[in-house]
Chains A and B, each alone.
Chain A
């Protein structure tokens, strides 16, 4: 019965011209046009507002367009870093210094066994509090700012300006935007790739998103730039050179994004460019207060959730690794020794690699973990407790510890900066990638490709430097 119907349809179809589908669609669109024409009255003027035209003339200008892009994004970064400083310090004092001390005292007073106190207070609580203190303020600034730009209608113009670069790399133009989101948080950048329709191009955007340096990694870069790179030049130039080093890594990241996109689109993710669809909406005055409110609340929830779900267990692991002993050394000691050779090849060391291993849930706690491990494994009398992350008074102190106790050189610091760019995504991002792709294979690629690149580049730099010296 049904087959009769289908056969009849096939028969009728054969009697019609090949492009019947197209004709049906055109007929529909013609009707839509007619209906719109009789219903809409434009008051005679050009449909694009003059102000929109003027704005576009500037923002997509050969010179001023890029200047505007540079200024706006530099502005967002600067505002984020500068604006987060005070709140971060406050939260740090409150949650990490005072909170930790208070909980510790409380636990001791209650007679809680040292192991439990260590694990829960020094491990779990400390890591969670650290992540909240360090991450919440920058995220609560970066994302609202980014969202305001988005609301305003500017972001599609950026995609428009940069499209050619991405087209040449075999990627989708909107990847420029997901890439930018990644500077706030890579998990958000990966989720944002939903705006790219074709799976192939979406995967490229997801895999390369990690080369955008998320908020959690900036402190590491800035610290290394300031302590080590800035230190090799006269103090007058130190600030500029340090900033230059950070910017150099960012630019390297963009280069790697394009290069890897290109490589992927020529090898495992080969295929057609999807039918491009980008619209430049009219500029709209953003509803500033409402956006700020919604965005800040949204981001706060996300950071808190991530801190509890990801950082807390990481804290437990860090503490355990430092306090569980196997034979004559702690787990940390053993792992550092085991990772030592690989670390050396990469121009890093075992401690750094261990830190990246245990702190995979949160890039923010890399440096405190490194400092703690350096002190507890290198100079046990230096007043640091195993498994308890710590921050030293100021950057100079950190520098001293790393150099004298840790044996760091400029090479170590530079390679750490490179490794900061080229290592596996944090666990939240990995989970998000899995969630968005539903593919174990591609999640594995996205996780391991940056790591492999990091290994190769760091080892090469180390090799070249050693050859020359």
Chain B
């Protein structure tokens, strides 16, 4: 990766954008924006941090723009959003800071983008992670959702591009999906402004709940592996009692993930539990 790794918490607006706040009135969201004010980049007045994750080319940037008002242009082209962006919005009188993570297919493949996304989710402890998913490509996008779910329970799935799905004759059983994942799933068509009020409501609900769902436990089909994970997970829980996602950490340790090993070594994994508003630096 040629661009410097953005450290979680240190963001910069992408160079290809302009903030045309004055254009708010003309955009499709204006009628529904009664509770939504766009603050642009204003880290000072927020109470919650939202991380925006998703595969490349899912319309993640459109969702980001719709929430923050940055008029960034989005092309029909996979892999375009590489630099991270930050923005802010207020909803229900409360300020939210939103971080747009690089588009990644998974958190496992060890590319710089994926490391960044993983680090923000694991160490940054966002209050909500919104995973944007392409409704026309659900199979392809779910692996990332499942991985995010393994790390945290504070997730909202934005099932985007439902207008495209309709055009292709695809219907998604949103309730079933939400039940299986254990988190809210909101159908959206961000480029038309569809579904955004529901998305905001879901974000608020997840950010403020005292009782989020537990991280997802995927049982491995391989009994040997399952045993090893269970054993190690117990030990991880013993060493870091407040960690909610011991299985995930155990898996990464078994894989020999250098980032996680370093976090174990210097004890920073244990800082996980303390809730905080700031993304770690």
Selected from B136, B139, B181, B256, the residue in CB contact (under 8 A) with A13 is B256
Instruction: Give the interface segment out of B42-50, B92-100, B116-124, B167-175.
Output: B167-175
Tell me the A15-48 residues at the B interface (CB within 8 Å). 15-17, 20-21, 23-25, 27-33, 35-45, 47
Contact B225 A16 (CB under 8 A): yes
Selected from A2, A28, A147, A282, the residue in CB contact (under 8 A) with B168 is A282
Instruction: Give the interface segment out of A104-112, A294-302, A314-322, A326-334.
Output: A294-302
Q: Which residues of A contact B168 (CB under 8 A)?
A: 42, 47, 49, 282
CA distance A43 to B180 in the complex (A): 23
- Interface extent on B, as a size class? 35 or more
Contact A197 B138 (CB under 8 A): no
Contact B225 A20 (CB under 8 A): yes
Contact A41 B82 (CB under 8 A): no
Residue of B nearest to A146 (CB): B75
Residue of B nearest to A36 (CB): B139
A12-B232, A297-B71 known; A195-B82 Cβ under 8 A: yes
Task: State how many angstroms separate the Cβ of B150 from the closest Cβ of chain A.
Answer: 9
CA distance A192 to B231 in the complex (A): 47
Q: Is B183 interfacial (CB-CB < 8 Å)? A: no
Q: Is B21 interfacial (CB-CB < 8 Å)? A: no
Contact A5 B177 (CB under 8 A): no
Contact A203 B2 (CB under 8 A): yes
Q: Is A272 interfacial (CB-CB < 8 Å)? A: no
Contact B172 A5 (CB under 8 A): no
**C-beta contact mask, B1-45 vs A, less than 8 Å → 1, else 0?**
111100000000001111010000000000000000000000000
Q: Is A1 interfacial (CB-CB < 8 Å)? A: yes
Q: Which residues of A contact B220 (CB under 8 A)?
A: 23-24, 27
- Interface extent on A, as a size class? 35 or more
Tell me the A423-455 residues at the B interface (CB within 8 Å). 435-438
Q: Which residues of B contact A42 (CB under 8 A)?
A: 168-170
Q: Is A266 interfacial (CB-CB < 8 Å)? A: no
Q: Is B201 interfacial (CB-CB < 8 Å)? A: no
Contact B73 A45 (CB under 8 A): no
CA distance A195 to B111 in the complex (A): 14
**C-beta contact mask, A266-301 vs B, less than 8 Å → 1, else 0?**
000000000001110110100100010011011001
Q: Which residues of A contact B77 (CB under 8 A)?
A: 150, 155-156, 195, 281
Selected from B15, B82, B138, B228, the residue in CB contact (under 8 A) with A39 is B138
Q: How many CB-defined contacts (below 8 Å) exist between A and B?
A: 185
Q: Is B214 interfacial (CB-CB < 8 Å)? A: no
Residue of B nearest to A439 (CB): B2
Give the residue among B78, B82, B146, B265 with the most A Cβ atoms within 10 A.
Answer: B78
A35-B177, A194-B80 known; A24-B73 Cβ under 8 A: no
Contact B2 A298 (CB under 8 A): no
Task: State how many angstroms separate the Cβ of A466 from the closest Cβ of chain B.
Answer: 43
Task: State how many angstroms separate the Cβ of B151 from the closest Cβ of chain A.
Answer: 13
CA distance A15 to B251 in the complex (A): 14
Selected from A1, A40, A436, the residue in CB contact (under 8 A) with B239 is A1
Contact B218 A9 (CB under 8 A): no
**C-beta contact mask, B249-281 vs A, less than 8 Å → 1, else 0?**
011011110000100111100000000000000
Q: Is A199 interfacial (CB-CB < 8 Å)? A: yes
CA distance A364 to B106 in the complex (A): 45
Selected from A40, A193, A297, the residue in CB contact (under 8 A) with B20 is A297
CA distance A6 to B250 in the complex (A): 10
Contact A197 B76 (CB under 8 A): no
Contact A147 B78 (CB under 8 A): no
Contact B173 A28 (CB under 8 A): no
Q: Which residues of B contact A15 (CB under 8 A)?
A: 224, 228
Tell me the A102-159 residues at the B interface (CB within 8 Å). 147, 150-153, 155-156
CA distance A8 to B239 in the complex (A): 12
Chain B contacts to A: CB under 8 angstroms = 1-4, 15-18, 20, 57, 71, 73, 75-80, 82-83, 106, 108, 111, 113, 136, 138-139, 142-143, 145-147, 164, 167-173, 176-177, 180-181, 191, 218, 220-222, 224-225, 228, 231-232, 235-236, 239, 250-251, 253-256, 261, 264-267
- Can you offer 15 A-B residue contacts whose CB atoms are under 8 A? A4-B239, A6-B253, A13-B228, A23-B225, A27-B222, A32-B143, A36-B138, A39-B172, A39-B180, A150-B77, A199-B1, A277-B79, A279-B78, A281-B57, A291-B73
* 7 closest cross-chain pairs (CB), A and B: A32-B142, A43-B169, A9-B253, A36-B139, A150-B75, A194-B82, A12-B228
